[in-house]
Amino acid sequence: MSHYSDNLEVEITPSQWTNFAWFIVGAGLFMFVIPPIVAIGKYLEVLFWKYQFRERTIIERKGIFSVTRTELHYYRVKSIVIEEPFWMRFFNLGNITIISSDPYQSVLRLWAVPQPLELKEAIRERVRSEERRVGKECRSRWS
């Protein structure tokens, strides 16, 4: 039995608004086969793309048939950047880039997430909490 618990707190998905142009092209060229298939593929790609915010980690899970799972520990986060493109601001969406000290995953990009400013603050608060926890564990090991 593992002593490591990482309970799921929140799970979000990128917004389907990122596929708006594909949906328009697919609807406008419905008589052709390729654009609707591409639009459906894009829809499914976003549908199966999840960001899980757990107690100690952020997990990005992508893929329909082949799944990629990227994990980033909060205590490794060094900086957070928010981008709010003009068209996304209408829907209260934004992109968050997390820069970390992880040698294998130095940048994690969260695409088209809802309420990016609130999410950034929640991540920042969790980072502070984990830094305090990890710091206490390190100090207790060496005492």
Residue 19 and residue 38 in contact, taking contact as beta carbons nearer than 8 Å: no
pLDDT tens readout for residues 25-66:
666 666 565 667 777 888 888 899 999 999 999 999 999 889
Higher pLDDT, 20 or 95: 95
pLDDT tens readout for residues 90-110:
999 999 999 999 988 899 999
What pTM, to 2 d.p., does this model score? 0.77
* Predicted local confidence at residue 29, as pLDDT: 60
Most confident of 31-40, 63-72, 127-136: 63-72
Contacts of 106 (CB under 8 A, 6+ apart): 99, 100
